Amino acid sequence: MRNLTIVFALVLCSSCSKDEIKDYSAENDQEIQAFIADNNLTAQKSSSGLYYVIDTPGTGDNPITTDRVKVSYKGYYTDGTVFDESTAEGVSFNLQEVIRGWTEGITYFKEGGSGKLLIPAHLAYGSNDFRGIPGGSVLIFDIELIYVNYVTENEEDIQKYIADNNLVAQQTPSGLYYTIDTVGDGAQPTLTDNVTLTYKGYFTDDKVFDESSQNVSFDLEGLIKGFSEGMTYFKEGGSGTLFIPSHLAYGNNGASGIPGGSILIFDVALISVN
């Protein structure tokens, strides 16, 4: 597997757009149409010149160009020669990190969907040779969009952490998991309340990234979604743990000291609802 073709395409394309000497657009379009006809494909063409075939529509979300996705793929030329291929498990990347044909093309598939991308050179590597790919090449990819963003990956990792630590957790419709160790017997906060609590925040490798040294007070509506929601399941005097997937925390981009896609775990104790 040579994932360099996909993963490092952003750097390449920045230079290709400046150095491109020949416009292969018309030639590539004829080559793609011939491939489609020869293989009895039903393809759609976008305004950019990209062609795509949807074999399986999928049932999940369509990604947008700023999303992170996991895709399994095989890349080849119109003569069938394979130049790159992932494992069945696929690879994860942000759509802004890849060639333009991928950035656009993957957005036409829903999670779980599969098909083909037929990418002309101006949406890939232009007229320059790159890592064995000749300049002006049409690139074809058989792809399966395994998931969009970290939701599936995070859920699998949270479930594994819970199982490995013999915990009994509840899951909410948002994707948050939580455990209640001490039920508590006081008031239960709403999302608009101010609360006083103690907490320790850590990753699934148990590395601590934040911890209160004393009681602290917060307006719940000013916190990350997973924390705000999670605290509403506790009563005053209660304690437990929140397992927050990245879409309820800092998403794809992360925050200071927190990598994008991170699961955040918090041990919390609710002192009072103010």
Model pTM score: 0.69
The CB density around residue 259, as the number of other CB atoms within 10 Å, is 11
Coarse DSSP helix, strand, coil percentages of the chain, rounded to the nearest 5 percent: 25, 30, 45
Q: Which residues are catalytic, by number?
A: 73, 83-84, 99, 125, 141
Out of 148, 172, 189, a domain closes at 148
Q: Which of 121, 148, 175 is the last residue of a domain?
A: 148
Q: Which of 98, 125, 148 is the last residue of a domain?
A: 148
User: Closest Cα partner for 52 from 125, 110, 133?
Assistant: 110
Share of the chain above pLDDT 70, in %: 93
CA distances from 238 to 152, 199, 241, 274 (A): 30, 12, 10, 15
Return the top range by mean pLDDT from 1-10, 64-73, 76-85, 254-263.
76-85
Q: What is the pLDDT of residue 19?
A: 52
Quote the domain boundaries for residue 131: 4-148
Does residue 164 share a domain with residue 130?
no
Query: What CATH number did the domain enclosing 207 receive?
Result: 3.10.50.40
Kindly tell me if the per-residue pLDDT of 56 is higher than 70.
yes
> From CA 191, how far away is CA 182, in angstroms rounded?
21
Co-location of 122 and 233 in the same domain: no
Q: DSSP assignment of 6-21, as one string?
A: HHTHHHHHHHHHHH--
Residue whose structure tokens are 């696929």 = 90
Q: Which of 141-155, 194-208, 213-227 has the lowest mean pLDDT?
A: 141-155
The residue-averaged pLDDT of 105-111 equals 96
pLDDT score for 9: 52
**What is the mean predicted confidence (pLDDT) over 115-134?**
94
Residues 144 and 158 in one domain: no
Same domain, 225 and 118: no
Q: Collect all residues with Cβ–Cβ distance below 8 Å to 262 and sequence separation of at least 6.
A: 203, 246, 249, 250, 254
pLDDT more than 90, % of the chain: 78
Q: Where does the chain show beta strands of DSSP type E?
A: 44-45, 51-56, 68-76, 82-85, 91-94, 114-119, 139-148, 170-171, 177-182, 194-202, 208-211, 216-219, 239-244, 264-273
Q: Are residues 121 and 8 both part of a single domain?
A: yes
Q: Which two tokens stand for residue 178?
A: 């939580």
pLDDT exceeds 80 at position 11? no
The answer to whether residues 107 and 188 belong to one domain is no
Q: Does 100 score more than 70 pLDDT?
A: yes
- Please tell me the total count of domains within the chain: 2
Cα distances from 194 to residues 30, 191, 198, 222, 268, in angstroms, run: 64, 9, 13, 10, 15
Mean of pLDDT values over 163-186: 97
Q: Are strands 264-273 and 239-244 parallel, antiparallel or unpaired?
A: antiparallel
The reported pLDDT for the residue numbered 68 is 87
Task: Examine the pLDDT at 8 and tell me if it is beyond 50.
Answer: no
